[in-house]
Structure 1
Amino acid sequence: MAIVKEALQALETVVGAKYLSDDPVIMAAYKSGAGGYEAGAGYERVMTKLPAAVILPRTTEDVQKIVKICNRYKVPYVPYSTGFYGPRSHCHEENELIIDMKRMKDFEFDDAHFYATIQPGVVFSPFQEECMKRGAYTVVGGGGAQCSVIANLISDGWSPLSLRVSLPMRRILGLELVLPDGELVKLGSLAAGDDGFWGEGIGPDLRGILRGYTGVLGCLGIVTKMAVKVMPFQEERLVPEGISPSTALTLPEKRVKWINYQVPSREAENKAMYEIGKAMVGGAVTKVPVFWRVIAKAEDKEEFWELWDKESPETLKNFHLVRVLIIGFTSEDDLVYQENVLNDIFIKELGGKPRRTKPSDESWIKNADSAGMWLMCGSYVSVDYIQESIPHAETHGPTYAELKAKYTPPLMPDHGDPGWTMVCEGGHMGYSEYLIYWDQREDTHPVDQFYVETSKMNIKHGYYTSLLGSHQPLYLTGPKLGPNYHEWMLKIKAELDPLWVCHPPVPLGTDEFVERAPWMMEIKDWETPKYPEEWPNKK
């Protein structure tokens, strides 16, 4: 299908012919970008469609005009900004328009108050560099420094650096939001003027509509400007080294340092995280899956499997490693003090020992190694994240590992590894993330089934989960986890987007996938009601 000629002509008047295209080759390139995260899974095959056209606005006013034209001609559209979320951030309708924000790269830093006002085309790598030039830093998400800062902040936006930098919803100080009907609303500090300094100040605070913890993938509007809080860093330069893709940042060891502590048990891992929070030391603390260490050693997929095949549940059962980043924020003496405190915790109290660690970083400050996540199998996804108390996060991973055993293969064998845990918010919050890997050339139907079965498991155990909404079936989780939060979400969607033109069928994408994919019906044991007739883009 194609967008009607009159709509394309109207869109061209906004940006000019240079920044609007329906060329089939360009459209195919945008669709192929649905790979990477969740590559080869059933959702990508079933839900991702070839765009009908792409348009590149330059200003907030451009975006408003484009959205109003889409409403006038009932053209469904997707706000797109680097597209890391694979199929979920791409077109789901045959005649859909991609609104690509890459031309919107305005950047203004308030040096006195440590915040920046940016547009959605600004990506993390240059943003982090500008921060560090000013003695500041921010969180770079696990997907890599090539993703949009704004897109990441309204959809995830955490990492081990969240121990000090805090979670993303606290770093959003103010923003401009183009609603699905084209009207503009300003939130937070920007609602009261151009000063984005005070995120909790005068002005409506509707950040929860945009993201909660994880976000709804732009289905409730397009953020065109955001004031972002950054935090003080240290003054020594982190020097890039290596040749892409094998690059890293050399750390000034007297100011920034990683230490790996091996401890005797999982209980010791947990206690260490509590004690670090109490002592208020460190810039990051995390326990990563064991196979990540093998990824770091391997030069290619063959070497990874050569090393990993030597491991077993027996060789790994007593391997417990906590990785801590120390930052001497104020001085070299500050780093020495923190390391002494950590040694008291890990060595004297827990009977652990430090292990040799490379004086470089390729994972969090600039994140040059994100492609390595796909090294072993070709496809990867974080099935779920838990942000709650440390004990809650601790029970989450082993339960997932137990369920995963039923789906291995095609899921990669990891010998019961409970996943990735870390501490956020100065030790007040535990975080757990469970990751799965598979080869997209194999039968991926069990991968899709595992994804949804984890939703049922969360309901059964009463787990808090961050992925409510766009990643888990609303009509499965909504009546149980909330309860009935899906009714509120759909009422908000219908109110803000009565024509359902903004990224349909999100937030019901997963529900529609389950309905469309024959192999999912065998595990569907919940009722999905018929959608209201007033939703014109619903089937």
Structure 2
Amino acid sequence: MTLAAETLTQVLAELKEKLRPEQISAQITDRLACARGTCPYEFKWLEQGPYPCLPDLVVWPESTADVAAVVKAAVRHRVPVIPYGGGSGIVGGTVPEHGGIVLDLKRLTSLSVNDTNLTVTAGAGYNGQHLEDELNRRGYTLGHFPQSIHSATVGGWVAPMAIGTFSTKYGKIDDMLVGLEVVLPTGEVLRTPEAPKESTGPDLKHLFLGSEGAFGVITQATFRIWPRPEAREWEGYTFPTTGAGLTAVRKILRTGLYPALVRLYDPDEAAARIAALGYEQGYALLILAFEGRRDLVALERRVADELCRAEGGLPKGPEPGRHWFASRLSTQHLVETNYLPGGAADAIEVSAPWDKLEGVWRAMRRALEPLAQEVHCHFSHFYHTGGSVYVLFYARTGGDARQGEEHYRRCVRAAVEASLAAGGTISHHHGVGRVKAPWMPAEHGVGFEVMRKIKAALDPADIMNPGVLGLGGKAPC
């Protein structure tokens, strides 16, 4: 316990006046279940114990009013509040390093679809795959397919500003977002307008996108949706170099063509991912997916084929795409290494403009190769102005869990600092959490001080997920 006994007693008494007994727990099993996500060093806590940080209470709100009641009680007693969704985050964003109350939002599962506006409004606890299934049943898709779709929740998408694998066509979660409902650190409820465009001051949705619970608790979100596509076609190409593959992608996007999936593997990861297909090693691999109306899909595929061949691309048919799709949600390759006592493995994702993208890839690879037995890289999200670099490392130190955690942090530092030095960012879509928080000032400069002032203005008691993003939280457990 990190709360004083008297404070805990007072908070519990207030919560019991507003919530049913089964919505509140101080049981060790519940507190353990909500004390971690899927960050690699959190695997080490399972191995070595004890957990360094536990919440004092877990609360399951069933409405926005419940959330507001909890936040009001928390601010009165200066008790930290940590919003928690599906626990799929990998950057330590929900670690209760100051104890307090974990708000497990999985019971916030309201849902409504507006067929006229082509929008869906869902509670923050709505499971990602369940949402997509329900939309499919009605003839729609959100188009948001993160690798964590089976465990992540709506709130967990918005809070770190997530992205899905089909982002080149459908956009990022911030592109899809139409409106938000948020409980502020005062317990007040903010609802943003759902008009398609406003010119009425700053767009407050963007204050909470990427805020990771530092500025309030997201309780509901409205997204744009699309009619379910009529057709989907795959095509794969090998390229003599990673640079040639990047050039082909850039030229595809410059034509105004945005395939649903654009995924480029460097030669090392291409060899690891598609060894079963028997392709010659040493080549970069590009996987494209096109979806929509059948006639438009055929046209897009023809245009992309011309551009890929012009850059030395050799067509490999639909099999690479089908192979990727069948195994796209698996993280076994990372988990197996992290479960080794001295193992450390992760995916570090950053972004950069086109003129720096290849340089960032090379710099991160060079930084990690001395630290890990394997380093694989791919580019999985592209834009008019640039793209993302996704670098995976697999290190086996042969040591114990503590050494594995230390080496993991060493690898993250090397990769992030290499990206910054080469003109990239510290994160693209996993968020910052606590893992990447030390580099927020380097990423934002004066902008980080602006964030600190916003945090102080909205949350002067510093109760909202203190320490996340490097904001607040001076005395962790």
Q: Distance in 1 between matches of 2:458 and 2:50?
A: 27
Aligned pair 1:270/2:246, yes or no?
yes
What SS class does the counterpart of residue 175 from structure 1 fall into?
Answer: strand
Contact 1:459 1:477 in 2 (8 A): no
Q: Distance in 2 between matches of 1:169 and 1:95?
A: 30
Q: TM-score, normalised by structure 2?
A: 0.85
Q: Distance in 2 between matches of 1:266 and 1:87?
A: 28
What SS class does the counterpart of residue 148 from structure 2 fall into?
Answer: coil
Give the match for residue 303 of structure 2. 341
| Distance verdict in 2 for CA 1:36–1:87, change over 3 Å | closer
Aligned pair 1:374/2:338, yes or no?
no
Contact 1:114 1:136 in 2 (8 A): no
Q: Distance in 2 between matches of 1:325 and 1:347?
A: 17
Instruction: Report matched runs for 1:157-168 at 5 Å.
Output: 157-168=162-173
Q: Distance in 1 between matches of 2:39 and 2:445?
A: 33
Aligned pair 1:448/2:409, yes or no?
yes
Give the match for residue 422 of structure 1. 380
Give the match for residue 446 of structure 2. 484
Give the match for residue 206 of structure 1. 204
What SS class does the counterpart of residue 104 from structure 1 fall into?
Answer: coil
Give the match for residue 211 of structure 2. 216
Give the match for residue 289 of structure 2. 325
Query: Deviation digits for residues 228-263 of structure 1, max 9, x if unmatched?
Result: 11233314xxxxxxxxxxxxxxxxxxx212221112
Aligned pair 1:435/2:392, yes or no?
yes
What SS class does the counterpart of residue 151 from structure 1 fall into?
Answer: helix
Q: Distance in 2 between matches of 1:219 and 1:507?
A: 8
Give the match for residue 104 of structure 1. 108
Q: Distance in 2 between matches of 1:35 and 1:285?
A: 26
Matched to 2:348, the amino acid is: V
Give the match for residue 461 of structure 1. 422
Matched to 1:256, the amino acid is: R
Cα shift at 1:292: 6.7
Matched to 2:378, the amino acid is: W
Give the match for residue 37 of structure 2. 34
Cα shift at 1:358: 6.2
Instruction: Report matched runs for 1:219-230 at 5 Å.
Output: 219-230=214-225
Cα shift at 1:70: 0.4
Contact 1:76 1:504 in 2 (8 A): yes
Contact 1:15 1:56 in 2 (8 A): no
Aligned pair 1:56/2:60, yes or no?
yes
| Distance verdict in 2 for CA 1:367–1:60, change over 3 Å | farther
Give the match for residue 374 of structure 2. 413
| Distance verdict in 2 for CA 1:91–1:469, change over 3 Å | closer
Give the match for residue 265 of structure 2. 288
Q: Distance in 1 between matches of 2:188 and 2:410?
A: 40
Q: Distance in 1 between matches of 2:112 and 2:319?
A: 37
Q: Distance in 2 between matches of 1:256 and 1:451?
A: 37
Q: Distance in 2 between matches of 1:452 and 1:151?
A: 25
Cα shift at 1:320: 1.0
Matched to 1:70, the amino acid is: A
What SS class does the counterpart of residue 117 from structure 2 fall into?
Answer: coil
Query: Deviation digits for residues 84-126 of structure 1, max 9, x if unmatched?
Result: 1157233434541111101100011112222101111111111
Q: Report sequence identity in percent.
A: 17
Cα shift at 1:369: 2.9
Q: Distance in 2 between matches of 1:474 and 1:466?
A: 10
Instruction: Report matched runs for 1:19-418 at 5 Å.
Output: 19-31=23-35, 33-35=36-38, 37-40=40-43, 48-86=52-90, 88-93=92-97, 95-133=99-137, 134-187=139-192, 189=193, 196-198=194-196, 200=198, 205-211=203-209, 215-235=210-230, 255-279=231-255, 280-288=257-265, 290-291=268-269, 294=272, 316=281, 318-327=282-291, 329-331=292-294, 333-355=295-317, 357=319, 360=322, 363=325, 368-371=329-332, 373-375=334-336, 377-378=338-339, 380-386=345-351, 388-408=352-372, 412-414=373-375, 417=376
| Distance verdict in 2 for CA 1:362–1:320, change over 3 Å | closer
In structure 1, runs of 5+ residues without a counterpart are 190-195, 236-254, 299-306, 510-530
Matched to 1:466, the amino acid is: S
Query: Deviation digits for residues 487-511 of structure 1, max 9, x if unmatched?
Result: 11211111111111111222327xx
Root-mean-square deviation (Å): 3.4
Contact 1:42 1:448 in 2 (8 A): no
After TM superposition, the structure 1 stretch with the greater mean CA deviation from structure 2, 63-72 or 5-14, is 5-14
Matched to 1:82, the amino acid is: G
Contact 1:164 1:424 in 2 (8 A): no
Contact 1:145 1:367 in 2 (8 A): no
Q: Distance in 2 between matches of 1:398 and 1:482?
A: 23
Contact 1:277 1:428 in 2 (8 A): no
Q: Distance in 2 between matches of 1:350 and 1:491?
A: 51
| Distance verdict in 2 for CA 1:169–1:45, change over 3 Å | farther
Q: Distance in 2 between matches of 1:59 and 1:102?
A: 11
Q: Distance in 2 between matches of 1:34 and 1:178?
A: 23
Cα shift at 1:376: 5.2
Query: Deviation digits for residues 371-400 of structure 1, max 9, x if unmatched?
Result: 5543455454332411x4233222211101
| Distance verdict in 2 for CA 1:471–1:23, change over 3 Å | closer
Q: Distance in 2 between matches of 1:362 and 1:104?
A: 33
Give the match for residue 302 of structure 1. none
